[in-house]
Chain A
């Protein structure tokens, strides 16, 4: 029984000696620098992967840069840009003409039609003589001549009611050769919308 136990103990010692010998023979796997080496290798692998991705990306960027710098690309782009500028310029010119048309349309039209409407207010009793117009102020100036002084206030009111004028400026009358002469300065109403008729 004793002999058998001693034999077992010897086997354990023998196993430990063997295991220790194995460790001494393979220091690379069990050395204190092994984890550091493993980490370095892992770092290098990650770096290699990233470097590969970067290389591919750089190649892609170079390809785009080459396309942009190619003479035929640049020539086409330059031609297109110049034509677009040309088109924009023409469109601005059209806008300028449209703006001119719109502005002109807002001005009152001093014509025989307008004067006929002014004359119609006084009828046969009051004659009208045109004396001036200024588009800066919108003032249409004219003299009205009538024989009956009592008709004058009504005549001025009728002028206002035509809708032709924004204001009908009347400062009084003078008597001259059997006629009362009224000097009127009336501000013409403009056109609110383009192409509209005179009010």
Chain B
């Protein structure tokens, strides 16, 4: 059987279509897909490379930045005690101030400094709209650099001596803050069995210290 011209024409069309489909399906489209993947991979790699390069370039001034920041931190921490303080050191400071102002120390209960955050007086007492809360949601963000200890103590002495004590803490010790106190008039029995009137002062005081750590040194 001999092919007619029409058959040849039809066969030509079918073969051409097959050639186009085969080329597209098995050669060109896979190559284009691979090109697209490579392009995406290139973008990611270039982004990562740029990020790494910037980070590496920063090495040249990071040491200076760290030294400068340490200096700034040292300046900021100057008013406060340098920790970690032991409770006996806290005792030294507080009792010495009390004795200096002729206050007779009766009792002292110390709590070692712990990482903490001081709340704001105004929001605490509803004097501003911005409520700081107790800061519990932010506690996890503490670095431990600022630590707060407390001392509950009782002393005996005159009101004037107590006010002098408050003055000295306010003016000389930014690392100490009197949180609360009560002054009660009481009668005492002296060594010579005399009864005298005097004040018993119960006070709670906070101590702020800054503790330098290794801060994840390289």
Contact = CB atoms under 8 A, between A and B. Distances in A.
B127 A104 contact: no
A47 B27 contact: yes
Nearest to A187: B125
A76 B59 contact: yes
B89 to A, nearest CB: 20
Contact of A90 (B28, B41, B66, B128): B66
Interface string A19-63: 000000000000011111101101110110011011001101100
A77 B121 CA distance: 45
Given A86-B217, A97-B80, A58 B174 contact: no
A97 B79 CA distance: 10
Contacts of A189: 127
Contact of A37 (B19, B42, B210): B19
Contacts of A101: 76, 79
Interface stretch (B46-54, B90-98, B104-112): B46-54
B81 interface: no
Nearest to B38: A57
A97 B73 contact: yes
Contacts of B182: 131-132, 141
A90 B70 contact: yes
A46 B34 CA distance: 14
Interface residues of B, number: 81
A104 B173 CA distance: 12
Contacts of B73: 90, 93-94, 97
A98 B77 CA distance: 9
B143 A89 contact: yes
Given A47-B23, A83-B59, A86-B217, A97 B15 contact: no
B65 A50 contact: no
B34 A96 contact: no
- Specify the main secondary structure of chain A where it touches its partner: helix
Interface in B14-54: 15-16, 18-20, 22-24, 27-28, 31-32, 34-35, 38-39, 41-42, 45-46, 48-49, 52
Interface of A: 32-37, 39-40, 42-44, 46-47, 50-51, 53-54, 57-58, 60-61, 64-65, 67-68, 73, 76-77, 79-87, 89-94, 96-104, 106-112, 115, 129-138, 141, 166, 187, 189-192
Given A32-B3, A35-B16, 10 more contacts: A40-B23, A50-B35, A79-B59, A83-B63, A93-B146, A97-B77, A115-B163, A135-B178, A166-B127, A187-B125
Interface of B: 3, 8-9, 11-12, 15-16, 18-20, 22-24, 27-28, 31-32, 34-35, 38-39, 41-42, 45-46, 48-49, 52, 55-56, 58-59, 62-63, 65-66, 69-70, 72-73, 76-77, 79-80, 117-122, 124-125, 127-128, 141-143, 145-146, 159, 162-164, 166-167, 170, 174, 177-184, 208, 210, 215-218
